[in-house]
Chain A
Amino acid sequence: MTELSALWVYLSASPILSIVITIAGFLIASRINKLAGGSAFLHPVIVAIALIVAFLSLVGTSYNQYFEGAQFIHFLLGPATVALAVPLYDHLERVKQMFWPLIIACISGILTAALSTIAIVMMMGGSRETVLSLTPKSVTSPIAMGIAEKIGGYPSLTAGLVLVTGAIGCVIGPILFKALKITDHSVQGFTMGLAAHGFGTAQSFTVSSLAGAFAGLAMGLTGMLSAFILPLLVRFLGV
């Protein structure tokens, strides 16, 4: 027994354990999602987070200990964000064609998402940290976390809430499109990518490749513009 606990002490100090837990948790979560028919409520990322949090609480490992190893996976978010330039470049022709409608819709969407969030949280008496962590909720995670850090929210809280937002958008979006009689797939895709980032993009690709391409475009454009607009907006509002 003492040998076993000595081994555990050694393992929990090494980055390998965190990395193994993260990848294993994600693979199990993907399997669970597939079994549930790919439901947006059981998105692999959200299930993986729940599994890993449960495991860490069970064995009494703190988040800091876990992150010491998991940061090697986390680090890749930086180059992955830079990599978003490639799909954006691929759709450059479409962007040029619909440039102004897309820019106007994008900026309106970003302002609507941020202002409605700030207003609702403040009206319901949420704390300042909650407001600032929620403001970038519609922005794709790597960028949203950077924004949260810049404006004074908690990046880790933002990351989790961004993921929940994505799942909510995937549930509400199709219902709204039907109610508003929006049938154009490029409009549907762009709207999903703006409000529900990567989750919306993944779902749009199941509708049609046109919807998916526009969702990816909206995700990149929203991320880029939000990174410039939201810090200025928060400073301007004096939140």
Chain B
Amino acid sequence: MPNSETDIADSPLPVQLSGASYIWQEKRGARDIDLSVRRSEVVTLLGPNGAGKSTILKMLSGEIAPQQGIVSIFGEPHGRDARRRIGLVLQEASTDDLMTVQETLQLHGQLFGLRGSELRRRCDQLLDALGLGDRTGDRCETLSGGLRRRLDIARALLHEPDLLLLDEPTLALDPDSSEAIWAALLDRVAAGVALVVCSNDTVEAETYAHRVVIVNDGRVVAEDTPRNLTSGLLPDALELDWPSATRDDIAELEGWTGVGTVLSTEDQLVLSVENSSEIVPQLFQRYGTQITGFRIRESSLREAWFQIVGRPLTNDHGAER
């Protein structure tokens, strides 16, 4: 965690949304969103694709104005000054294949009023920090997905924003790239920058977020620290590889003493349990031939999501906007 929660509480508010709504033509969107973000705070908007996270992010970035409610950035309505203080990372890597790494950053810097030696200094510093120092003259078409993402992050950090808005910044990246990106982001958080991250990755949210905002069907349904969100859960999560599990099996398991929620995904069941060492032998005694593998871990935001929303956190709710 970048900073203590006490430090964060005393900081001013880079973001405040009050009753903000934006509904797209196809009726998706975000409804009646209240959200505030402090300096040095990492807030993750957690939800499946199509939940409304990106719509919230677009209201924060100023791409769309709320149809109802208020968006305020550092105490002001959205405008040129607010955009100057925001760094935005989109869901997809947004680079031009024909431009080089250096040109990509320089163009962005020029759009933010940076020039000359100051622009060069910042470019060099960020490219080195993000492991792109030896690729400055290469065209973006030669970069891997992970390196393109690092370039996106470098671009968002180049003008030294006070608020970073990131849409799935590490989606589908290798661990090295994810770590490099989070290291750069947390460095800025330590310096007072506020981060709003859209994600459906519960592990990442639990690892890096000070606060998790659970978004479902366009609404905020819960909001708290990861610790508080998971505090009411049974302590262990039991992941069972069990492709042949039936509804009757699940119903039976839910009735067992010491078993809380049972999440069913494609080939897996995830049981929230009081004490895994007691449940595992019972499971194998009853269903041993059907279960092909199992893992025990601590209960996480994934189970908290299920408990709050009533269905597993998957990405089968349609296209994200």
Q: Do A and B come from one complex?
A: no
